[in-house]
């Protein structure tokens, strides 16, 4: 079709052009003809001159130029640059901006992206505390740092609280010998209530402000409770019996769901930041991802994903603070690997052999880094850059496997407890945000300015 119309116009053109070609100088005659076909006279003249100089002999190419060549060139240029052909449109009304739910999003927000000087990571621990009678058991979770900046550690049958603000220590509770030792401690999100898992399968809830026991959860597990995780008012407990139980601490019959998937002791238990997904790791080398929404509607036993790649017990689990469905997991002595999972699809994204038992994992809340704690032979802490998994630092000091790790509420300091019965503090994730100090500085400025004006 295009070709057809081109032919007809070219034949017309041929009629008007032919005379011109022959009578270059006396062109007054042909002017009428030209005007009928090409209204833009000045452009036509240029076209004509150009034609005479360059294209005169190539008869075939000439007729197609039914518009001035300049126009054609512009059009072709615009076409290739996709300017003329296309109109780019967008809605006037923009989609709503997401609401920030995760508190660490704010600090990320403030962070200056361009200036990123290499951070110095101190090679030795900032502080070392004695932790006598710390149970040297891989499967337990005896250290937790609450949101009110108080660290809880279980030494034998006693739970001690160490206030990071003033360094003071207090004893919360000592359980009876037949009930203990304490096998897990976990702060509720409010930083005031704390759950204490015991060797006799009970879980005690304490109010740290009044030093009073609130209640005891029992009847769920048949053996020791080595792992716990809070999700608002739900306390999830993992037992040596392989069971995972969601306890609603507000109601009398507290057992609301039971997840059955592990055949051996559950030693790692972590809720995602959104509270939607629970990751559990067991001595049966398995990781399960449980979905909160499907658990309530369907039968409680069905896991969302069953991840079978580790070849040893999985205690170290850590949800990525900046990517909601990214989970890091570490395998025990026979496995030695850190693996990364997309918990939406269940795909293993990466696997790194660390060469040593992985006891615990923590993400840096402010940078894309991961901290792992290890056992034999170096008993070290390793800082990894994510996602390249380049080692940024190896911190040594502990003389036995580093069983437990906990992160301060500001995300900067990490406490570690090891089989050598010491509790060490490492300033591994940098100094507290500078941006937090800069913000209030900006505010007084306009006021002082006003004062001066008056």
Long-range contacts of 239-247 (CB under 8 A, 24+ apart): 239/201, 239/265, 239/266, 240/139, 240/265, 240/266, 241/265, 242/266, 242/282, 242/284, 244/269, 244/278, 244/280, 244/290, 245/220, 245/221, 246/295, 247/203, 247/217, 247/220
Nearest CB to other proteins, comparing residues 114 and 451: 114
Q: Does 91 bind other proteins (CB under 8 A)?
A: yes
Give the one residue of 324, 333, 409, 432 binding other proteins; rule: CB under 8 A: 324
Binding range to other proteins, per CB under 8 A, among 103-111, 195-203, 236-244, 435-443: 103-111
Give the one residue of 349, 434, 436, 438 binding other proteins; rule: CB under 8 A: 349
Give the one residue of 56, 59, 219, 275 binding other proteins; rule: CB under 8 A: 275
Cα-based angle 58, 63, 69 (whole degrees, multiple of 5): 90
Nearest approach, Cβ of 116 to other proteins (angstroms)? Answer: 8
Q: Does 450 bind other proteins (CB under 8 A)?
A: no
Nearest CB to other proteins, comparing residues 72 and 129: 72
Q: How many other CB atoms are found less than 10 A from the CB of residue 312?
A: 17
Q: Does 109 bind other proteins (CB under 8 A)?
A: yes
Q: Does 3 bind other proteins (CB under 8 A)?
A: no
| Alpha-carbon gap, residue 229 to 120, rounded angstroms | 33
Give the one residue of 20, 43, 72, 108 binding other proteins; rule: CB under 8 A: 108
Q: Does 260 bind other proteins (CB under 8 A)?
A: no
Q: Does 128 bind other proteins (CB under 8 A)?
A: no
Q: Does 192 bind other proteins (CB under 8 A)?
A: no
Nearest CB to other proteins, comparing residues 96 and 446: 96
Shortest CA distance to 343 belongs to which of 325, 361, 317, 322?
325
CA 375 to chain centre: 27
Q: Does 437 bind other proteins (CB under 8 A)?
A: no
Q: Does 165 bind other proteins (CB under 8 A)?
A: no
Binding range to other proteins, per CB under 8 A, among 23-31, 149-157, 254-262, 271-279: 271-279
Nearest CB to other proteins, comparing residues 98 and 444: 98
Site for other proteins in 362-391 (CB under 8 A): 368, 385, 387-388
Long-range contacts of 38-43 (CB under 8 A, 24+ apart): 38/66, 38/68, 40/68, 43/68, 43/70, 43/71
Give the one residue of 49, 77, 347, 439 binding other proteins; rule: CB under 8 A: 347
Q: Does 325 bind other proteins (CB under 8 A)?
A: yes
Q: Does 95 bind other proteins (CB under 8 A)?
A: yes
For residue 387, is the peptide bond before it cis, meaning its omega torsion is within 30 degrees of 0? Answer: yes
Nearest CB to other proteins, comparing residues 227 and 272: 272
Cα-based angle 78, 79, 84 (whole degrees, multiple of 5): 60
**Beta-strand pair 158-163/150-155:** antiparallel
Beta bridge partners of 13: none
Q: Does 101 bind other proteins (CB under 8 A)?
A: yes
For residue 377, is the peptide bond before it cis, meaning its omega torsion is within 30 degrees of 0? Answer: yes
Q: Does 322 bind other proteins (CB under 8 A)?
A: yes
Nearest CB to other proteins, comparing residues 100 and 308: 100
Site for other proteins in 70-89 (CB under 8 A): 82, 84-89
Q: Does 323 bind other proteins (CB under 8 A)?
A: yes
| Alpha-carbon gap, residue 115 to 113, rounded angstroms | 6
Give the one residue of 172, 286, 326, 393 binding other proteins; rule: CB under 8 A: 326
CA 201 to chain centre: 34
| Alpha-carbon gap, residue 186 to 404, rounded angstroms | 12
Q: If 0-12 CB within 10 Å is exposed, 13-18 middle and 19+ buried, where does residue 261 land?
A: buried
Nearest CB to other proteins, comparing residues 89 and 450: 89
DSSP code, position 141: B
Residues that bind other proteins (CB under 8 A): 82, 84-102, 105, 108-109, 113, 274-276, 322-326, 342, 344-345, 347, 349, 368, 385, 387-388
């Amino acid at each position: 079709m295009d070709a057809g119309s081109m032919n007809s116009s070219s034949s017309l053109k041929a009629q008007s052009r032919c005379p011109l070609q022959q009578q270059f100088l006396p062109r007054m005659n042909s002017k009428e003809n030209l005007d009928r076909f090409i209204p833009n006279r000045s452009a036509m003249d240029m076209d004509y001159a150009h034609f005479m100089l360059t294209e005169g002999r190539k008869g075939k190419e000439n007729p197609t130029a039914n518009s001035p060549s300049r126009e054609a060139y512009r059009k072709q240029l615009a076409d290739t640059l996709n300017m003329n052909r296309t109109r780019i449109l967008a809605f006037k009304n923009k989609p709503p901006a997401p609401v920030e739910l995760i508190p660490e999003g704010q600090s990320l927000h403030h962070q200056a992206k361009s200036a990123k000087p290499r951070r110095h990571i101190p090679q030795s621990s900032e502080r070392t505390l004695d932790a006598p009678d710390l149970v040297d058991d891989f499967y337990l979770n005896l250290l937790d740092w609450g949101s009110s900046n108080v660290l809880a550690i279980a030494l034998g049958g006693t739970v001690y609280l160490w206030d990071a603000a003033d360094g003071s220590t207090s004893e919360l509770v000592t359980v009876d010998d037949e009930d203990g030792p304490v096998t897990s401690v976990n702060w509720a999100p409010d930083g005031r209530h704390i759950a204490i898992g015991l060797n006799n399968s009970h879980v005690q809830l304490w109010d740290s402000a009044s030093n009073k026991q609130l209640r005891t959860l029992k009847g769920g597990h048949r053996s020791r409770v080595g792992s716990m995780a809070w999700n608002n008012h739900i306390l999830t407990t993992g037992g040596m019996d392989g069971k995972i139980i969601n306890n609603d601490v507000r109601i009398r019959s507290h057992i609301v769901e039971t997840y059955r998937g592990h055949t051996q002791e559950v030693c790692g238990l972590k809720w995602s930041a959104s509270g939607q997904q629970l990751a559990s790791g067991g001595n049966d080398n398995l990781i399960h991802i449980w979905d909160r929404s499907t658990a309530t509607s369907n039968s409680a036993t069905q896991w969302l994903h069953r991840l079978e790649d580790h070849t040893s017990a999985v205690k170290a689990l850590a949800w990525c603070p900046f990517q909601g469905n990214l989970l890091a997991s570490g395998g025990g002595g026979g496995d030695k690997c850190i693996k990364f999972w997309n918990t939406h699809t269940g795909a293993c994204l990466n696997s790194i052999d660390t060469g040593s038992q992985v006891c615990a994992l923590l993400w840096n809340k402010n940078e894309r880094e991961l901290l792992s704690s290890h056992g034999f032979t170096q008993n070290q802490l390793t800082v990894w850059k994510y996602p390249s998994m380049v080692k940024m630092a190896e911190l040594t000091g502990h003389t036995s496997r580093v069983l437990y790790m906990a992160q301060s509420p500001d995300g900067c300091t990490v406490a570690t407890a090891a089989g050598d019965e010491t509790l060490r503090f490492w300033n591994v994730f940098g100094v507290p945000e500078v941006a937090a100090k800069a913000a209030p500085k900006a505010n007084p400025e306009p006021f002082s300015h006003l004062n001066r004006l008056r």
